[in-house]
Amino acid sequence: MDTLKAIQVFVCIEKNGSLTKAADQLGYSRAMVSRYLEHLENHFSTRLLHRNTRNISLTSAGEKAILYCQNILQQQQLLKELSVEEQYTGTIRLTCGLFILQNGLAKAIQEFQQKYTHIRFDILITEETLDLVESQIDLAFRITTKVADGLISRPLDRVDSVLCAHADYLATSSEIVHPDQLLQHACITHHSMQNTWSLSTHQQQPQNYPIRIVAQSNDAHALHEMCLNKMGIAMLPKVMVERDLKDETLIPVLNHYEPPQLALSVVYSSRRHLPKKTQEFIAFVMDYLKK
């Protein structure tokens, strides 16, 4: 039997002056309380309580033992409180792109820290797909459709994209009505897209169309800036270019073709031994982004 639980039972019996009352308080049967007491007496090789049908009292050994047992439980409580405090201190190391940080994640971190003031963040800004274990990263926030084997991915939010170009670029370029014509246009693309863009219509499944790349980057803000500088057509997150589309600085192209639907996900290497603070932050961000 569990000796620590037996100590808890013994202290509870002494406090209540009754095995029955102790059983009620602990949610055990009276027989179970008796067995725990017997286990403790066998463990210490001494009788701890005088008991008869009407009352109980400590033996001389029990009077000494109760002080030690109370101290053990106090120390256990202090250790438990220390453990809980430690679970909500320290650093969460994460990686994400600047676009993700600016579109909700930074605010979520700020509000999380108002709740857990002893947790701090170490943020590595990149859209590169880093090895989480090798880079000692707790969490990665990525916009993607898939993750590497062995990693766990939790979807957080949908990310819609749009093909667009500066109005001046389109005014001086040939009209584009079909994705096959992308080879005739200057295209600005993310490293993850490689040499093709996947597009679909309501009538057809996604197809990969080759593109003529004039510039590429691993950062969405860099692609946006190049698009604003009239360098060509780019595939960008809708939320990033909403204002540009509204004032018609940027113009959507190939409206009848849809870019792939991506998801913002939080990625981590293992559920086993995931620190409590990291679990809490994942749950917080998932709830925060639903608002």
Identify whether the C-beta of residue 231 lies closer than 8 Å to the C-beta of residue 222: no
- Alpha-carbon distance 10 to 6, whole Å? 6
The pLDDT value recorded for residue 2 is: 86
Q: What percent of the chain has pLDDT over 90?
A: 38
CA–CA separation, 192 and 197 (whole Å): 10
| Helix or strand holding residue 143 (H, E) | strand 139-144
Q: What is the pLDDT of residue 86?
A: 61
pTM: 0.64
Structure tokens at 252: 């959507």
pLDDT for the residue 107: 93
Query: Is 23:29 a contact under the CB 8 Å cutoff?
Result: yes
Residues 245-262 have a mean pLDDT of: 91
* Lowest-confidence segment of 92-96, 120-124, 148-152 by average pLDDT: 148-152
Q: State residue 203's pLDDT score.
A: 74
Query: Which tokens go with 290?
Result: 């639903």
Contact 237, 159 (CB under 8 A): yes
Looking at residue 291, what is its pLDDT?
64
pLDDT-derived band at 223, boundaries 50, 70, 90: very high
β-pairing, 119-125 vs 90-96, is parallel
- Tokens for 279? 């679990």
> How would residue 236 be classed by pLDDT, with cut points 50, 70 and 90?
very high
- List the domains of the chain with CATH numbers: 3-85 (1.10.10.10), 90-158+263-288 (3.40.190.10), 161-260 (3.40.190.290)
Q: Give the confidence band of 131 by pLDDT, cuts at 50, 70, 90.
A: confident
Quote the pLDDT of residue 166: 95
pLDDT averaged over every residue in the chain: 87
Query: 52 — phi, psi (to 5°)?
Result: -135, -170
Residue 127 region by backbone torsions, left for phi larger than 0, else alpha for psi between -120 and 50, else beta: alpha
Rounded to an integer, what distance in angstroms lies between the CA atom of residue 18 and that of residue 182?
Answer: 85
In this prediction, residues 104-110 reach a mean pLDDT of 93
The 3-state secondary structure of 16-27 reads: HCCHHHHHHHHC
271: pLDDT confidence band, cut at 50, 70 and 90?
low
Q: What pLDDT is recorded for position 81? A: 62
For the record, the structure tokens of 157 come out as 């939010």
pLDDT score for 237: 92
- What is the DSSP code (8-state) at residue 101? I
pLDDT at residue 205 greater than cutoff 90: no
Helices within the chain (DSSP H only): 3-16, 19-26, 30-44, 60-87, 98-100, 106-115, 167-171, 220-228, 238-246, 276-288
Contacting residues for 137 by C-beta, under 8 A, at least 6 apart: 93, 94, 95, 124, 130
Amino acid sitting at position 9: V
Of the candidate ranges 28-42, 47-61, 182-196, the one whose mean pLDDT is the lowest: 47-61
Write the DSSP symbol of residue 269: S
